[in-house]
Chain A
Amino acid sequence: MNTIIKQAKSHIRQQPFFTVLSILGTAVSIAFAMLVVINYDIHIGDITPESNRSKMVFSGEGYSFKTKDHSNANSGMSYRTAKLIFNNIKGASIVSYQRHGTKLYCGTNKNKGKSHFCKFVDPEFWQMYDFKFLAGKPFNKADFQARANVVVINEHIAREFYGSAEKSIGKTCFCDFSPMKIIGVVDNVSSFFNFAYSELWMPFDPTINASDPLYGDITAVALCAPGVSTSDLDDQLHISLKRYNSTLNDYSFELKDMCPVAKYQFFKGHANTTAILFFIGLMLLVVPAINISGLVSSQMHHQMSEIAIRRCYGARRWQLIMRFINENLILTCIGAILGVILSYLMLFIVKSWLLFSDTSLLNYADCRISTSMLLRPEILLWVVGIAILFNFISVFIPVWTATRRNIISTLKGE
């Protein structure tokens, strides 16, 4: 080990340009690969408050039409339809329904309000997601059924309305000119969490009439029961959808985007995300790997005679290969550390640009990225893996070809 470090040191001193180039190349490619991984992870990872993403199946928007001539087409799903499809699914432990979030005029009195983002949810919503309650509690089934005028707000709103989370509990705020009692204050949620994010959450009207249309503005999320995979649950839901369609006389109802949340987050499940991301990731590694390989092989020219002499004295080929890989591993490590730092730097500079979503444009959007979203052991593990793989690809091939050359012709300088 000592000799390797010693050699690496002298190597760096002798070849400062190569070192800089190699480290820079590694750092930049690691940084980009990190950005891709972080971007992927932020969208599909189990991160509080959406800590069940890997077990969730999302309904997507519904679409209904008259089967005969495709007339009366409407997008959306009503609460009644959603309930008929999503209730009594064996593979689901919790099903939560929510209405589309919307901007409402909210304030402490009717004359002093501002536009805020509100979501209409059911009591299961609070079990589905992991909210941190700073004060009070969520509304329960009884509140929901009684159509109680209660609301849960985030810390930011609580501070704006009544100064603090504790002071807000039990107070009244006006949403769309009707008085609501604040019963809970949760920690702010970043707008990257498109399922959980809102500023105010309130129960929607759970009344169901037999005359309700198929369309509406409800979406449903089902959580897998223990031992059930998301694809199983997805299958069960599609069967239930089929069964529901067979009860409809003139109409057809579709849930084209229904799929596990991890899939839905990219292209709404309509593209093979894993394949695309794998390809992008591969390209992000292959291009710089060729780069470093090219550099190493130009560099190798100067070390040809060293290799030949070592082999003359009985060094085995794999020993030589390991030697170069180890030597380069030090450069890769420096590059990887720089790369990680660079990726976080880039993330903070371009985060709104890179992780752009439609909610980030709302003027009250909270595009915070907390450290818990980024400093996740999985991500760092990924980086270590990428760094080793990267080093291996970029050094192995040129060294392998170099050691294959005939010793005698190398020493002769041919």
Chain B
Amino acid sequence: MIKNILTQIWNQRRTNSWLFAELVIVFVLLWFCVDVLYGLVFARLQPKGYDQEHVYKITVNSRKDQFVKMQDADSISRFWWKPLSEVIKSFKQYPGVESVCTSFGTDAYSNNTMFQGYHVDGDTSNVFVSNIRYVDPEYMHTFRIPMLHSIHKNLKDEDWNAINDVTPAIVSAELADSLWGTTNVIGKRFSDYYSPDLHYKVIAVSDPQKNSDYNRYESYIMTPYPERVYKMQAIPSIYIRVKADADNNDFSNRFIKTMSARIHIAPFYIFDIESMKYYKQLDDAQQGVTSEVNNTMLMMSFFTFNVFLGLLGTFWFRTNSRRGEIAIRMAMGSSRKQTAVHFLTEGVLLLAIASLPAAIIGLNIWNADLTVTIHADATVLRLIFTLIITFILMAIITLIGILIPSKRAMHILPAEALHEE
């Protein structure tokens, strides 16, 4: 049957040529779109190295009318950090709050980043740049950061103390790999490139970290707050983890209302509380991922609609002009179902033939590095996978497009059709 259909496709090459050209072009365009989405989905499915479910970020600001600029470290500690820590402490008392943490430096889901260069002791020629995040010990619990290796299964607060001027540090797998070529590096030492007397000792290695869902993995170092932070009138990022059963849509509203009424610690006030989910959306929007997805989907729907229309039209006219042939088939004992299958097979075969040159074009585009590789590498597996997905997608549209005309063909009465001329 397939040989028979192939002969028919060849004989009708004149009318098939338009459809063929369209199938090839749309296959390539659709493949490109699928490839873009593949990159995004691939990056999205990678574990982020932390869990931001039920985590909220609280923005605490200082009131302009109560703000006093201070120079002296002692008064900053007394009139800035002490009241601020009281504010932060009070968050923990709110019902449903599991843990509270603060951080400085590279923020999750934000373009607020801080970088430093690091090297293994004694080797200043190989400097690796890494995101730096100053955190308190609670940070690991709040964000539930999984560790590959760690001196204790659960890090304790006293692990966070510097010993003999050596600061404890948690490095991400990426940074450990850049510095030592392996991730099992507990107890190893390294130093800051720009401030040579800053030394670190690895107390844990975390899973690979990324700043947002669609980014690639980056190097991270998490270490305690340096002394200089306490000499500034700064406000860290504050996060709370809410118990799953206490978390609901109204949580942030109730929290800000209750806490604003309760807390009057000059010069601070609670400005805002938003879930990490919101910051993720905001970050996606700022990075342009949301519009990238939207535009790609829109393009895809346009192309698929056109292929659908093209197939529908071509096969509609085909069943019309081939009424005689269909009638003869039926007269020779072909069932109605077989007639429909015949047309569907013809469509899929045509698509299969068209997908060969399309795949070759795709291969060349891939080879010339013209695919979007911001979010994931262009691997051979990716090429094959996206080509298969595109074929399946096209096959589905082909079948839907031909189904209506072939249904019509099914209902041709052989006697009438053969009688026509």
A residues lining the B interface (CB < 8 Å): 17-18, 21, 24-25, 28-29, 32, 35, 69, 71-73, 103, 105, 110, 115, 176-178, 280, 283-284, 286-288, 290-291, 293-295, 297-299, 301, 350, 353-354, 356-358, 360-361, 398
Contacts and interface: CB of A to CB of B under 8 A. Distances in A.
A350 to B, nearest CB: 8
B61 A28 contact: no
Contacts of A299: 317
Interface in B23-69: 25-26, 29, 61, 63-66
B21 A177 contact: no
30 contacts: A18-B313, A21-B313, A29-B302, A32-B302, A69-B193, A69-B194, A71-B117, A103-B272, A105-B61, A105-B269, A115-B271, A176-B63, A178-B64, A283-B25, A287-B26, A287-B306, A290-B18, A290-B21, A291-B22, A291-B310, A294-B18, A294-B314, A297-B18, A298-B314, A301-B317, A301-B321, A354-B294, A354-B298, A356-B290, A357-B291
A272 to B, nearest CB: 13
Nearest to B21: A290
A252 B8 CA distance: 70
A283 to B, nearest CB: 6
A72 B195 CA distance: 11
Given A17-B316, A356-B285, A356-B291, 7 more contacts: A103-B272, A105-B269, A105-B271, A287-B29, A291-B22, A294-B313, A294-B314
A318 B310 CA distance: 27
B306 A25 contact: yes
Interface string B227-250: 000000000000000000000000
B25 A287 contact: yes
Given A71-B194, A361-B282, A298 B313 contact: yes
Given A178-B64, A298-B314, A358 B286 contact: yes
Nearest to B59: A103
Nearest first, the 7 A-B pairs at minimum CB distance are A294-B18, A298-B317, A358-B285, A177-B65, A291-B310, A358-B286, A177-B63
Nearest to B66: A177
B306 A361 contact: no
B61 A288 contact: no
A298 B15 contact: yes
Contacts of B310: 290-291, 294-295
Contact of B64 (A176, A293, A294): A176
Nearest to A401: B14
Instruction: Name the residue in B269, B298, B316, B317 with the highest tally of chain A Cβ atoms < 10 Å from its Cβ.
Output: B317
Interface in B168-207: 193-194
B309 interface: yes
Instruction: Name the residue in B193, B298, B306, B316 with the highest tally of chain A Cβ atoms < 10 Å from its Cβ.
Output: B306
Nearest to B28: A283
A284 B302 CA distance: 8
A169 to B, nearest CB: 23
Contacts of B26: 287
A294 B282 contact: no
A21 B309 contact: yes
Nearest to B117: A71
B306 A115 contact: no
Contact of B305 (A17, A28, A115, A283): A28
Contacts of A176: 61, 63-64
Given A29-B306, A71-B117, A178-B64, A361 B285 contact: yes
B160 interface: no
A29 B312 CA distance: 16
B115 interface: yes
B303 interface: yes
A291 B25 contact: no
A357 B286 CA distance: 7
Contacts of A105: 61, 269, 271
Contacts of A356: 285, 290-291, 294
A361 B288 CA distance: 13
